[in-house]
Amino acid sequence: MPISPSTTQQKPQDLSIAGPAGPLALRLYRPGRAPVGLPVVLYFHGGGFVGGSLDDADAAASFIAEQTPALVVAVDYALAPARPFPAAPEDAHAAALWLAEHAAELGGDAARLAVAGDDAGGNLAAALTLIARDRNGPVIAAQALVGPMLDPSMSRLGDGARLNSDLSAATCADCYRQYLPQPRQRLHPYASPLVSVRQAGLPPALIVTAECDVLHNEAEKYAAALIAAGVPTQVVRFAGVNHASLVAHRPALAEIAHFLRRRLWDGAAPAHPLNL
């Protein structure tokens, strides 16, 4: 069972590791009460593949660290257009490999490793589960995707005006053009997890969506694909919430922490039906 969270969370610690193209910056968050053997969560910030920073992960990473509780490691992955696909997912995999090897030194348990992310970071978290499965490691126990960008074809994008979405199709298209400069890259499963036809064997998933977000349809389609492949999957859509506010929405963060507690502390839990 999880330990009781403390209200005196420790100050985040900046780290640097060797990445595929040079130093890769990480930021480590510890709960206020941090014994050894905590589960570990890799977190990927949003920003549409072209923006964002470790600071943008702070609210979610801090909450997850304290409420799971877990060690949370945010990743300062490569951004387009300077470093387009596949630089970001390769950074994600490098961070996961490093964490699997060094978790014990940080007081973590590499056998209980999860991934999470919002927006483009949700794409990278999903892609990382595919990469880790295909490359035989590291083993990932759970994934939490928050308003993820999963379909560069944009064929499943919602109607922004009808949804009163704060995120537009034009913004998504501009981000994808920079991240995936070669059209054929849009069909690569590590860029577009939704086009993958091999979801079997992926870790249990929580997919969190917002009602007022053009992305919620593609995220929920991915949840359905995971369920069809036999992956234990839960999807929660928050009414009246838009894309930008989802990652800071307290009930959404609480849902993520609850999911991670069940998966990383309490062991396996049964699949939940898609509730749309």
Task: Answer yes or no: is 129 within a domain.
Answer: yes
Instruction: Report the pLDDT value the prediction gives residue 266, as an integer from 0 to 100.
Output: 85
**pLDDT tens-digit map of 134-156:** 999 999 999 999 999 999 999 99
Portion of the chain with pLDDT greater than 90, in percent:
88
Read off the pLDDT band of 182 (50, 70, 90): very high
User: What distances in angstroms separate CA 137 from CA 63, 95, 102, 224, one per listed residue?
Assistant: 27, 12, 14, 25
Domain-located, residue 4: no
Q: At 2, is the pLDDT very low, low, confident or very high (cuts 50, 70, 90)?
A: very low
Each residue's pLDDT tens digit, 70-86: 999 999 999 999 999 99
Task: Give the pLDDT score at 79.
Answer: 98
Nearest Cα residue to 28 out of 54, 56, 2, 6: 54
Judge whether 142 lies within some domain.
yes
Is position 271 within any domain?
A: no
pLDDT at position 10 is 78
Q: Where are the beta strands (DSSP E) in 5-153?
A: 13-19, 22-29, 38-44, 71-75, 108-118, 142-146
Q: How far, in whole angstroms, is CA 268 from its chain's centroid?
A: 19
Note the pLDDT of residue 267: 64
Q: What is the pLDDT of residues 4-24, one digit of tens each?
A: 344 456 799 999 999 999 999
**Which residue range forms the structural domain that includes residue 178?**
13-264
Please check whether residue 24 lies inside any domain of the structure.
Answer: yes
208 found inside a domain = yes
Task: Compute the mean pLDDT over every residue in the chain, rounded to the nearest whole number.
Answer: 92
* Residue 144 within a domain: yes
User: Residue 114 forms beta bridges with which residues?
Assistant: 41, 142
Q: How many other CB atoms sit within 10 Å of the CB of residue 40?
A: 26
Rounded (10°) CA dihedral 217, 239, 40, 88: 40
Using pLDDT thresholds of 50, 70 and 90, give the confidence band for residue 211: very high
Nearest CA to 208 out of 140, 138, 150, 139 is that of: 150
Domain count, the chain: 1
Amino acid residing at 28: L
Band the pLDDT of 272: cuts 50, 70, 90. very low
pLDDT of residue 276: 30
pLDDT tens digit sequence for 214-244: 999 999 999 999 999 999 999 999 999 999 9
What is the C-alpha separation between 243 and 235, in angstroms, rounded? 16
Torsion sign, CA atoms 174, 179, 181, 184: negative
CATH number of the CATH domain containing 152: 3.40.50.1820
pLDDT given at position 275:
34
